[in-house]
Amino acid sequence: MENVYGNPHSQNISSKLTHDTVEQVRYRILAHFHTSPEDYTVIFTAGSTAALKLVAEAFPWVSPGPESSGSRFCYLTDSHTSVVGMREVTAAVNIASIPVRPEDMWLAEEQDAAAASDPSGQPLHLFCYPAQSNFSGTRYPLSWIEEVKSGRMRPMSGPGKWFVLLDAAAYVGTSPLDLSVHRADFVPLSFYKIFGFPTGLGALLVNSRSAPLLRKTYFGGGTAAAYLAEEDFYIPRESVAERFEDGTISFLDVIALKHGFDVLERLTGGMENIRQHTFTLAQYTYAALSTLRYPNGAPVVQIYSDSEFSSPEVQGPVISFNVLDDNGNIIGYSQVDKMASLHNIHVRTGCFCNTGACQRHLGISDEMIKKHLQAGHVCGDDVDLIDGQPTGSVRISFGYMSTLEDAQAFLRFIIATRLRPSNGQPLPLATPGEAGALPAESKAQNAVPATRARSSPSPQEDASPDSRVWDNSPTTVDAVSLRPPLLETTRTQQTPSEKAAGIPDGGLGSHIVTNLFLYPIKSCAAFEVTRWPLGNQGLLYDRSWMVVNHNGICLSQKQEPRLCLIQPFIDLQQRIMVIKAQGMEPIAVPLEENSKPAQICQSKVCADSLLPLPPRTLHSHHAGS
């Protein structure tokens, strides 16, 4: 019975074991943040977002009235979507939400000390800010907590008592947080961002002085000391954690946290070591990226940062950037993401659920955001450029398991795909110097003098796949040898991006199709045709098949780059598709639907639900993956 855990709301042996083990995990969490149960309470939630929503719903907001301006909800514009989303809850109770820019916090007025020390009868306000920006890695002063709470700094003018919510989700994964010094009222966090497991489990750390102010409207299983089903009678439990943890918590995942803390301590020696390790890697990578230049002197990347990566006090192990061509034009982050996937490098792209910081660093106005939406761009998609302007960036992050080899692999990827020398060998990388800084001679090597730059390949040279994909110049075609017939220009419906750009209908002129390529199997190789029939969805049989794994999930080159080595060929006369790949026998797939009864596989591609029949679903073991 040592490892049998029951529902903690029961009183049997296994349930008591669960309750006691969960309580020990709470103590371990508080010890990790240098505090105790006397000063803070751990409320388990479904994640940091759920913790933020809990605060928004339970904070004692005071609506404006004849004698009071009411409470205020202030948040830093460099905040996660989940923080900004709290304003929808406050708006429902007529509470004003005030966005505060980072630069304005430095100019925040000092409140009268007497008013701050006597908050009786004054409204209660809440100020939220991140310990670390999840967009750029900027670390904001933890001293703001005490300065705002004491009244020495205030996000906006007016009477009232201020409470501080410190969004620590991005910060605590790589840095220690001492709550005995920086006594925030509310601290949401995600354990997934600390350990990588379990997902869907976070916590809200509540200051004991602030906990009595929280009000709860809904009560779920395990939160009531007593209630009546036929009368409006309900008494909550005395424990703050039990009062706010509706239903059965994910106790098996909570118990797993103990092993996460044990492993973290055993492998690294503590969070201070993690902070120095991850910052050194980020500092080294930042220094190397900053020195990369094209032969004409143009930078290879544009980095979005508020610091020079001088100290882990002001900068986290995050680098947000965009790749540039030698003319200074930004290469879309989707293209960078696809190329990184081929090199087995995982990056995050877009605005990272932080529109405020994204706008500030990329120079995107509010009107441009609305214009991008009209053009079809939404958060999280792969529309990376509109009218030549970026809609987001690329982000790399370092964790406690990241190594110097990881950082150098990323740098080699950038160098090999943007600055490959004429002999085809990647440019050499320097080793990091003390504290992660590049030595002077290393910077000179990465400056890429013109004599070592890649020369334009001759037509006879077989350009590497990297250089072909990244090449922004148009492909030249011998129109005389092809002699295609000049088709009559037809008017087509404008795309959303054309409308947003103000291009008149039909203003793009005529085009000549010089080559036809079909991709019968998604993410696999193409085959070229000179003429081809049309179907209901475009070119007949184009993207009609996909490769799925044993779970029925469609595979793409992001997960399996070798898919591009699978070569399909369609024989319209024999009504078959022949699939070839190195090291395997050819597979013949009939073009017509199989009349034999078989299991149907449902999948989703590009947000569209698909219901393909088995003949058009190629399981990955056939593809040799």
Q: For residue range 257-305, what is the model confidence (pLDDT) as tens digits?
A: 999 999 999 999 999 999 999 999 999 999 999 999 999 999 999 999 9
Residue 614 falls inside a structural domain: yes
Same-domain check for residues 349 and 286? yes
pLDDT at 524: 93
Q: Within this chain, do residues 150 and 45 fall inside the same structural domain, yes or no?
A: yes
Count other C-beta atoms under 10 Å from residue 528's C-beta: 8
* Pairwise CA distance, residues 527 & 545, whole Å: 14
> Domain containing 431: what range?
273-470
Lowest mean per-residue pLDDT among 30-39, 143-152, 404-413, 597-606: 597-606
The predicted pLDDT at position 553 comes to 83
pLDDT at residue 411 in the model = 97
Distance of CA 20 to the CA centre of its chain: 36
Alpha carbon distance 512, 308 (integer Å): 49
Helical packing angle, 251-268 and 271-291, nearest 10°: 70
Q: What is the pLDDT of residue 487?
A: 32
Looking at the fold, whether 560 and 443 belong to one and the same domain comes out as no
Could you tell me the pTM of the whole model?
Answer: 0.75
Q: Could you tell me the two tokens for 196?
A: 């990588």
H helices of 246-345, in order, are 251-268, 271-291, 333-342
Q: Does one domain contain both 70 and 136?
A: yes
Q: What is the pLDDT of residue 507?
A: 58
Check if the beta carbon of residue 596 is closer than 8 Å to that of residue 570. no
Residues 441 and 300 grouped into a single domain: yes
Average pLDDT, the chain: 83
Could you give the number of structural domains in the chain? 3
Cβ contact 432:467 at 8 Å: no
Instruction: Report pLDDT digits (tens) over 90-143.
Output: 999 999 999 999 999 877 655 555 445 545 568 999 999 999 999 999 999 999
Structure tokens that stand for 277 in this block: 């390790």
Going from the C-alpha of 52 to that of each of 48, 179, 188, 191, 218, the distances in angstroms are 6, 18, 6, 15, 16
Closest CA to 137 of 409, 352, 287: 352
Between CA 48 and CA 173 the distance in angstroms is: 13
More confident residue, 425 or 106: 106
Q: Answer whether residue 387 is part of any domain.
A: yes
Domain closes at, from 266, 286, 306: 266
Are residues 439 and 301 part of one domain? yes
Q: Say what the pLDDT of residue 294 is.
A: 96
Q: Cα(166)–Cα(142) distance, rounded to whole angstroms?
A: 9
**For residue 307, is pLDDT > 80?**
yes
159 and 20 both lie in a single domain: yes
Report yes or no: 104 and 249 within 8 Å, Cβ to Cβ. no
Neighbours of 47 (CB within 10 A): 21
Query: Is position 7 within any domain?
Result: no
340-380 pLDDT, tens digit each: 998 999 999 999 999 999 999 999 999 999 999 998 999 99
Residue 205 maps to a domain: yes
Residue 249 domain flag: no
Establish if 526 belongs to a structural domain.
yes
User: Could you tell me where the DSSP H helices lie in 179-316?
Assistant: 192-195, 240-244, 251-268, 271-291
Sequence-distant (≥ 6) Cβ neighbours of residue 380 within 8 angstroms: 350
* CATH number of the domain to which 405 belongs: 3.90.1150.10
477 pLDDT above the threshold of 70: no
Confidence of residue 69 (pLDDT cuts 50, 70, 90): confident
Q: Which of 407, 437, 470 finishes a domain?
A: 470
Higher-pLDDT residue of 235 and 481 is 235
> Is 313 in the same domain as 168?
no
- Mark whether 71 and 150 lie in a shared domain: yes
With bands split at pLDDT 50, 70 and 90, how would you rate the model's confidence at 215?
A: very high
DSSP 80-106: -HHHHTHHHHHHHTT-EEEEE-HHHHT
Tell me, yes or no, whether 161 and 292 share the same domain.
no
Residue 8, token pair as written in the block? 């903690």
Both 545 and 439 in a single domain? no
Find how far residue 578's CA is from the centre of its chain: 39
> Is position 236 within any domain?
no
Q: What share of the chain is helix, strand, coil (3-state, %, to 5)?
A: 30, 20, 50
Confidence of residue 602 (pLDDT cuts 50, 70, 90): low
Pairing of strands 124-130, 161-167: parallel
Last residue of a domain, one of 444, 470, 496: 470
Give the CATH number, domain containing residue 121. 3.40.640.10
pLDDT over 70 at 590, yes or no: yes
For the ranges 80-89, 247-256, 407-416, 417-426, which has the lowest average pLDDT? Answer: 417-426
253 falls within a domain: no
Same-domain status, 451 and 596: no
Which active-site residues does the annotation give?
353
